[in-house]
Amino acid sequence: MGQIITVTNQKGGVGKTTATMNLSAFLANEGSKVLLIDLDPQGNSTSGIGVDRRKVQKSLYDVLVNETHPREAIYKTKYENLDILPSQVVLAAAEVELVSHLAREHKLKNALAKISDDYDYIFLDSPPSLGLLTVNGLTASDKILIPVQAEYFALEGLGQLLHTVQRIKTNLNPKIDLLGVLITMYDKRTILSRQVENEVKKHFPGKVFETIVPRNIRLAEAPSFGKSIFGYDKMGKGANAYKSLAKEVHIKCR
Ligand SMILES: Nc1ncnc2c1ncn2[C@@H]1O[C@H](COP(=O)(O)OP(=O)(O)OP(=O)(O)O)[C@@H](O)[C@H]1O
Ligand SMILES: [Mg+2]
């Protein structure tokens, strides 16, 4: 059965989508069968991986709300071994519509039970909130990867996130575990970046990935071409960082 990893932090713009897309792309390129699930109504990882959201017939919304079989909403990407379960704008409504459903927190988990054998890794890109979509992601997952941006306020909100994870572990998904905390957008020239690194390591002893993702403009440019960093700037610092992160993830999941 595949490892299901949710990339989450309710803080916006910390690098969740960038991490999800590039980890998925690298592991797929190395030969693992990978599914990327876009849990965010913004749909950044759907379009970032080169899928036109307007042309998608069925999406995560149908899987969650109409109980469409997930295989009907999974599409191939231009990358070998990498499939996507895309998001559409309508997914924003799922957050409200699901409230009246029975076992609303288990919708994604139940859907993934039908397909998780098809994949080695399933990565979930979460929206910047702790709402029902994120809760569905956490309930369905084996592991959590938390990106934090090497900026002031980096640790703000992490207490609330960990509290939510603990509640989910107690009530909905006892097997969920922290895979690691990823420091992103690190600028080695600034004292602030180093301070944040130290703070994060102090708060999460033994749980911070050795790989630190530098601030790298190529990582920000790649999605506008519908490409992963490996398709856009294979030899650059950004690609190197995500390559080494993917190796760490692979080792930790074995
Ligand atoms: N290492 C990096 N260096 C430079 N820019 C980056 C890096 N990682 C991400 N970015 C850029 O920073 C912005 C936020 O990143 P991203 O979309 O991955 O964050 P997010 O947590 O998914 O955001 P949201 O909460 O809105 O979903 C994007 O424009 C992205 O291209
Ligand atoms: Mg995002």
Q: In total, how many domains does the chain have? A: 1
What is the mean pLDDT of the segment spanning 41-48? 96
Cα separation of 213 and 33, whole Å? 24
User: Within the chain, where are the H helices?
Assistant: 16-29, 44-48, 60-65, 91-97, 107-113, 132-140, 158-171, 191-203, 217-221, 229-232, 237-253
Residue 1 has pLDDT above 80, yes or no: no
How much is the pLDDT for 75? 97
Is residue 2 over pLDDT 90?
Answer: no
| 176-207 pLDDT, tens digit each | 999 999 999 999 999 999 999 999 999 999 99
Q: Tell me: the pLDDT tens digits for 57-108?
A: 999 999 999 999 999 999 999 999 999 999 999 999 999 999 999 899 999 9
Residue 78: give the domain boundaries. Answer: 3-253
Helix (H, G, I), strand (E, B) or coil at 80: coil
Task: Return the pLDDT at 154.
Answer: 87
CATH code (residue 16): 3.40.50.300
Mean pLDDT, to the nearest integer, of 12-25? 97
To 10 degrees, what angle do helices 16-29 and 237-253 make?
70
Taking all residues of the chain, what is their mean pLDDT, rounded to a whole number? 96
14 lines ligand 1 (CB under 6 A): yes
11 CB less than 6 Å from ligand 1? no
pLDDT tens, residue by residue, 118-158: 999 999 999 999 999 999 999 999 999 999 999 988 888 99
The yes-or-no verdict on residue 254 having pLDDT over 90 is no
128 close to ligand 1 (CB < 6 Angstrom): yes
Comparing C-alpha atoms, which of 34, 29, 33, 109 is closest to residue 67? 109
Q: Which ligand is nearest to the CA of 8?
A: 1
User: What is the distance in A from the centroid of ligand 1 to the CA of 15?
Assistant: 4
Residue 66, pLDDT score: 96
How far is residue 177's CA from residue 25's CA, in Å, rounded to a whole number?
23
Residue 72 CA to ligand 2 centre (angstroms): 24
